[in-house]
Copies of this chain bind each other. A is one copy, B any other.
Amino acid sequence: MALIVQKYGGTSVGNLDRIRNVARRVANSYDDGNDVVVVLSAMSGVTDNLLDLAHQASETPCKREMDVLLSTGEQTTVSLMAITLQEMGYKAESLLGFQADIQTDDSAGKARIMTIGAERIKTLLEARKIVVVAGFQGMDSAGNITTLGRGGSDTSAVAIAAAIKADSCEIYTDVDGIYTTDPRICDKARKLEKISYDEMLEMASLGAKVLQIRSVGFAKKYNVPIHVRSSFNEEVGTMVVNEDSGMEQLLVSGVTLDKNEARITVKRVPDQPGVSAKIFSPLAEKGIQVDMIIQNTRSDGETDLTFTVTKTDFREAIEITKRVAEKMGGKEVLVADDIAKVSVIGVGMKNHSGVASRMFQALADENINIRLITTSEIRISCVIDERYAELAVRVLHDAFELDTL
């Protein structure tokens, strides 16, 4: 007997048969005596179709209206789910984002949840109804429909779980948990039993697409245990929990790969205050996000400044950087987009030295050259040549013995 939030993604509710399968899972949990809130995404493909339609109407459709359009996707799934549950003999009621009182800021297309008034959900639960909430959407203070951006349904689910103080938030997806690395790259990849919020945050931001990063931040802030599992089988998945929750203290929990970055180097810039600002301010003004920044000091009062941007922003970033370099006296700009970033992540490394050297040695043993290095408290990332990317992942997986518990 618990209060459970279950979130199902677009693939899990991709057609009526799948909706029926999900309804059965929900009903089973309800029959076990649990109070169940279901959070749903749009049927897979629907959001893309709507985006396509809007872009046929305008190359740059207004974000407010996009949100009105896109929110129909979840509206369709929640009503069909409620109807399906009722057909199976259960009491169910759908709530759209605004009906569930999900209040967001006014950033159309990427709104942030400000508050959730849990009253209506609680009232329905008290009547022993299964509550089916449209994920991904909310309403701003002016009464406009907003959406939370890609993967926003995860955030909806976790935020609702926090608001109603749910015992757990189950995120159902098309994979059966969080793996030590991408199983398509490394066949020794192993499903983790538990992972900490912080590790998951690093994993999510580095390309593991299972959980939306903001939802993990939310879960950490409100200490909501997340259970990531498959909607296609009954297996236990991976728990994303507080670091202290009796976790196995692994040195490294996972290896991630990100091939979506490109590198820009400005050679021989003066090693003096204000230079970085001159280069990065114009990029920030254009909304270009810079990931890694590395500055190599030279002996001659000059320095090489290297940074990475996403491949999407690469072209624009090169133009801007060249313009700035021109102003600084025609400094040379080198670029490369055939790079990849491999990272090892683990809360264990906070208390253990030697992770970095073990990583570098493993790569060196395979003659993989490291171009850039950055670190955080629980992560070490190396930029290498793209052609070695998959090899590097397998080598690191082995080096940290991630295939064995």
Q: Are A75 and B78 in contact (CB under 8 A)?
A: no
Residues of B within 8 A of A83 (CB): 54, 57-58, 61-62, 65-66, 69
Q: Are A57 and B72 in contact (CB under 8 A)?
A: no
- A104 lies within 8 A of chain B by Cβ: no
Q: Which of B62, B72, B78, B87 contacts A58 (CB 8 A)?
A: B87
Q: Are A65 and B53 in contact (CB under 8 A)?
A: no
The stretch that binds B, out of A93-101, A199-207, A298-306, A308-316, is A93-101
- A82 lies within 8 A of chain B by Cβ: yes
Q: Number of contacting residues on A, CB 8 A?
A: 36
Q: Are B58 and A84 in contact (CB under 8 A)?
A: yes
Residues of B within 8 A of A82 (CB): 62, 65, 68
- A64 lies within 8 A of chain B by Cβ: yes
- A296 lies within 8 A of chain B by Cβ: no
Residues of B within 8 A of A145 (CB): 96
- A357 lies within 8 A of chain B by Cβ: no
Cα of A129 to Cα of B70 in the assembled complex, Å: 22
Residues of B within 8 A of A53 (CB): 16, 80
- A281 lies within 8 A of chain B by Cβ: no
- A289 lies within 8 A of chain B by Cβ: no
Residues of B within 8 A of A93 (CB): 64-65
Chain B's closest residue to A20 (CB) is B57
Q: Are A72 and B80 in contact (CB under 8 A)?
A: no
Given contacts A56-B16, A84-B57, contact A94 B79 (CB under 8 A): no
Chain B's closest residue to A78 (CB) is B68
Chain B's closest residue to A55 (CB) is B83
- A260 lies within 8 A of chain B by Cβ: no
Best-buried of A57, A62, A66 by chain B (most CB within 10 Å): A57
Q: Are A79 and B96 in contact (CB under 8 A)?
A: no
Cα of A80 to Cα of B72 in the assembled complex, Å: 12
Query: Which A residues, 137 to 156, have Cβ-Cβ distances below 8 Å to chain B?
Result: 143-145
Residues of B within 8 A of A195 (CB): none
- A71 lies within 8 A of chain B by Cβ: yes
Cα of A145 to Cα of B120 in the assembled complex, Å: 15
Q: Are A65 and B87 in contact (CB under 8 A)?
A: no
The distance from the CB of A120 to the nearest CB of chain B, in whole angstroms, is: 8
Q: Are A72 and B76 in contact (CB under 8 A)?
A: yes
The distance from the CB of A295 to the nearest CB of chain B, in whole angstroms, is: 43
The distance from the CB of A49 to the nearest CB of chain B, in whole angstroms, is: 11
Q: Are B61 and A69 in contact (CB under 8 A)?
A: no
On A, residues with C-beta under 8 Å from B are 16, 19, 50, 53-54, 56-59, 61-62, 64-66, 68-69, 71-72, 75-76, 78-80, 82-84, 86-87, 93-94, 96, 99, 120, 143-145
